[in-house]
Structure 1
Amino acid sequence: MKKYIIITLLLSLSLTISTCTESDFTDNNSAEKTEVTLNITTSSPTLVGNATSKSIETRTASQTLTANENKISNIWVFQYEYNQSTPLSSTLVEVPRYYSLSAGATSQSILLQTSKATQYQIVVVANTNSSTWASDIAKGSALSSLYSKTTTYANEAAMYGNGNENLLMMGTGTPGLISSQTNVNVALNRLLAKITFTFKIPDALNLSVTNVGIYNVPNIIKCGAPGSSDIYPSSGFNTAVYSEIAVTAGTKTATYTWYVPENQQGIITNSSANTKNDLAPQNAMFIRLYGDFKDNGNSYVFTVYPGMNETNDFNIRRNYNYTVNLDINSVNLSDARVDASPANCFVVTQNSTIRFNPYNRTESGGGFKYSDYVNKSNITKTISYVKILWQTGNGTSLAIGNNSANNLVYMLDDKIYVKSGNINGNAVIAGYNSSNQILWSWHIWVNNKKPANVANAVKYMTYKWDATGIYTNQLVQGHSFMSCNLGAEDSQFQSLTSYGLYYQWGRKDPFPGANKLVLDPSAESGSLSDFDYISANILAVYDNNGALIDMPSTVGNSTSVFKAVSTSPTVGTIAYATQNPTTFICATSIPGNSDETFLLNYGDWYYGLNDRLWGGIPYSEATVKYTAPDGTLLANNGATSKSIFDPCPAGWMLPPADAYMIFTQTGLAAGGIDNLNVVSATRYGYTYYVGGWKTAPTSYFPFNGTRMFSGLITRPAICGVYRTSAATPSDNRVYTLHCHNWDTDAMVNPWSGPGDRYSYRANGAPIRCILINE
């Protein structure tokens, strides 16, 4: 149960400002001026956490910076001739002046216009940290001009003074006469709200928190406060202002503090805390905690909306403290504050239910915005209904089941619900708009072995490398591999159930895997190792109603659910791929021909060039590069931030280019069992050592073949190809692990001539995800 304590900030801690520098302005005002003393009062609330850290990742509960919360580094002074009947029309009589305060200043004399009959009002704005901030406020302007002035912030560091560690404040003195030796008192209020968030998890609950964040934070501050019933702002939200905070593994309690611009989104009619989230206005500010639940291997997100109460208030006001305590005693989907963590893949156990918010995505890798594709504020991008596109099964049982009654996959209160079936398997569900156009689709991975459970991950080492070489005698910690391929039922040795699914590079949606083994060693090349992508050669798939999807032909077939089409300027686009998640986009001008001579667009399904689809950067932007003796070009251009097109579950992402270096003695291509870091050689896959050279732990990588750029399947049980997020510098290809039962290329890179055709982006290949937070 979360708990809010609302504290209105009280005025205290008198500061008398002195030893300051006044900005020079041209002012021809000939009115009499008198020297007065300006006294400023600031509030002093209890501070929990480091409110002014330059890096939010280092904010901890043990750091208290009360002095910075009250710090005044500089002020702007405005003098208005007071209009009692309409105060906002009061007139500015002096050019505003900027004072930079020296450290420890306690008093300051300033010149103000005086009159025995005229009442004046003094307004002070503190901590703008800019001597030009008020240059657009002209003498003679009304007080309303200052109140309507806004300041825009690019990020959280700017909100905390860009290194000055201060907070924007503003205060208005009491109107009155000003005469010689008068003390002018101004009480400053912070133009920000303070949010203090604490979570607590009992030791017995196997929930590991991975991230905490605050969202829907405006990037603007207006000097004048909105009315108590106003909705403000209606726009001006910038996700770059506040970012997620990585939480150290095993943390059971922590406190975080943020200072944020006010965000008033109103009060609704509601009396239950359990339904507050479902009724939240679109722009309301919220806090999210992400965690992995080890009991079932699923990832969850806990969402709370701070405000004056737990039920119906969505107003975050300036100069207020909002303390939110989240005590998590169980993972209960009956609570509307608990959802599956957002991703393109959801891992669920058999006979279970998940719920997720299809409008909630925060990934930033590659620079893509999810709201460009799914957005509640745009009717054409709003989801009207969901259904199953395909699901695997055995003829009796299905990964999900017969959804003809919309009772297994459905949408309710802007959230999607999925009830899994009673076998391990895979499904893809899609969200449609009112025009029956697919807006987005998600992979549902039913697996009782809990492959996304962090406890099942396998830590790997890799070789140290830099711009001068690969140092195979120096190991560095890599990440952790998922225990099996994405979409696999298990990691069983020499079994079809370990194969997993096929992915074209840069696309988020999977294609069903092969159901075929090349058992004859003489068929390791040529037509005997290639198969049509038809029902006989792939896993059995079923539709929304549980009916078998027959695929008599896919290549060039315009009606098949899993048709393959040639890329073009209209087909090879993100929009087309998103709206057609079961269509394989070939990189060939002649369907069915796998000869590189006929390839279009350098073997890419995407028509053009985009190295950022899976979150990485172009090779040209990498900061560390190495050219190996065999011509391999290594670069640190893999993803550091997950893309919205990354196919992995929450908490996991695609591996970088150097993830597989430990698989060979050189870190590059190697042949012969003595040069491969394997337990033993087999026809169906390798069990690689990943802890070092011939050093445990180990991880099994099956040879599950490839769906080639032509749409055909080639070499299952002969060839293994595994994706990374990194693009190569030439020929529009990608870094790829390529392995056979006689060799391993740990980092396939285009060679001279036709190169290795398995590194083409249009190929469909399996994925082995890695943990993000380690």
Structure 2
Amino acid sequence: MYNLEILQYDSGGNYITKQTFGTETTPGTALTVNLNPKNDCQLLIVARGSGNAISSIATNKSLNEVRNSIATSSIIEAIDPSIGSLNAMPYWLHLEHVNVVSDNSGGTTQYVLQSPEGAYDTRLRLKRLATKLTVNWTFSQSMTDAGYELKEVRLCQVPKDYRLLPTTEKNEWGITYPTTIVEFVNPYRLTSATDLNKGGKTIWLPANVRGISASATSDRYRTKENAPTAASYVELVVDNPTRQERLYYRAYLGGDDSTDFNLYENKDYNWTLNIKSADYRGDARIQLLDQTPVVSTNLVPTGNCLMMLPGTNICFNPYKHEAGTNGWNTYLTDGTTLSTEKTIDHVRVLWQTKDAGTSGELVLGYVVDESNHKNLVNVSDIADKDKALVHVKVPVTQGGNAVIEAVNASGVTIWSWHIWISDYLPVGVDASKITDNSSRTTAISEAQNSTRGGAVQIYQGVSWTDPAGAFYKCVIMDRNLGATKAGIQDNQIDGRRTLGLLYQGGRKDPFFAAADGTTKETKTIYDGVGEPLDVIKQKLTTVDQLIQRPLTFSTGTNNEYPASSYNWNGDGPKTIYDPCPKGWRVPSNGTTQSPLSGYISSILSDDGTFKYCMWVGFGANDGTTGSLESKMPIFNNVMYYNGTDITSIASSPIRQSDFVGSGFIYYGTSVGPDGDKSIFFPAVSLREMNGNYRDKKNNTVYQWTSQHGTRTTSGMLIYQIQDQQISVTHPIDWKFGFSVRCVQDNIQKKP
């Protein structure tokens, strides 16, 4: 054993003492361990390996702080798994309940280990940190004779990091670890003839304990429909060029029993996959990729965000825009002419998410190859502005987000569209039916009843309840733009699904939120062939640059002000740069689209009331008197949810919860499938002006408005919930990345 350390903690995980035993500890050597006498304590025993794959465990830190200590994966993966020498491999053992008691039986007082039941015969066996996996494959001669060819073997959905004591979570499959919000990766994708002809590969990988699925009653039922979330699998990709078929053979890994999807540390797993048949209709483990160009007749209006149900297809005219002049995208055409540089040559998948964080299915799926995306996104009559169509198809998944881009003949991106895939179909009110409060109530009820997969909502306050209020004839979505879940959740992955996407002020293109609520730049988006992508961080200074680089987060300093900050147009008409779907828009928070001499006045109507502030009902007054800035809510209108408990934000709740999806509940109305709890604002890790995530989580909500403030020339107003206060008149630089919640595009303008 190399670099052995023994640490003692009390039952609550508080540090007691630590002892180290030099570089090498020879088996059979007696060790004298100095521990403190104590009942029901915890021991963590770690042999960190000859290469120090795990850093020395810090003293004076709680066990919870030590949890999730990550090993250096390159050291472990450099160990040849076919050779018996494992000097560099870390070993560990965590004893959660043990007594350290005195023993005078030998005439000298010694302290020995005792089990909680009183047994003294304690023999400790450390566990190897890594799992060993061997996968072999055979490809039958009958498949080769039929024209099929093995193109790729890939190992998918494996935790990226080796964690010393990973956090567990309880779900329908049992006690699983690591949590589903950590980063999952594909350790290998073998495509060369040399690798494929070897017929097998053995590697080390982190444990991935995903539990038991009772639905997987035999090997044929170990399918993605029956597999637990984030279970590891091997996928073999097979092509038949003659028939234009591509088949995906998926084998979920785990124990010997068909229901067992666990890959434990300190165990060896050996799998052999035999490809004998192309019967994708009769075997659910085989999926067919349709490589034919997608063609749709489901014509929808063109907006920057297109909402799609899983398993559907749409088409739209890329030169049009529901918010444009005379229905045209005026950046691309005036409706009469179409310049060469603004003529689309082709469309392609820019990025897409998976449907379970960094695990699950690609929400658009795989393209044919890097130069051919036509099976997912295709064009027809593209040079004719009147007849041009973009066709999009999405598979059946649990939903997510994607961005597709249009490219001209010179290879320049000239526009892009966000595809929001979920079962959510919000419906707005019919404003023509609203003549008084009674007809308004009826219209709202009709909109709520027509909405599918979620809710549309209203808030309290005079901006909603007064006939002169800006939102009197509006409803608002129940979730952030891009979210596939709404309301408080009881598990991490669904909590992650409530976060939605991040936007820079005035921009139409989204960026992704942190996968786990931290500052870690976890890869959460993928290209058309499933390779992970990074966000690009670079200063952009013109609207053209912002449009041409939809994956670039524009960085800079305060007071740098391109025209993009005005692109959302305040409380004026919706613009072609608004990121919301047709019929919805970024909510306003004022009465003018130009900078104001006093930002408090930006939410005042002529008679001095707050009829143009959407969040007035959240604050400490009824919206008729006084400032709303920096005020605590009254009547517990806003509560804080940390993943377990709901408390008033005035009571200083714990803010460092590990639960992704913590946030604030607004008890301002009772609409929605879950009543008040359905009006929920998850605390999302924002992006700073330099593009990095803020080193804070689960403690503040930032929501963009379309309004401009005046503290700086580049300021835009936001709605904000933070410790013990609500802010509605806070201007901030447009380059931050915040959430958006779309309101119905039916806002009443100030006379």
TM-score range, shorter chain: 0.3 to 0.5
Structure number, greater radius of gyration: 1
Larger fraction in strand = 1
TM-score (norm 2): 0.44
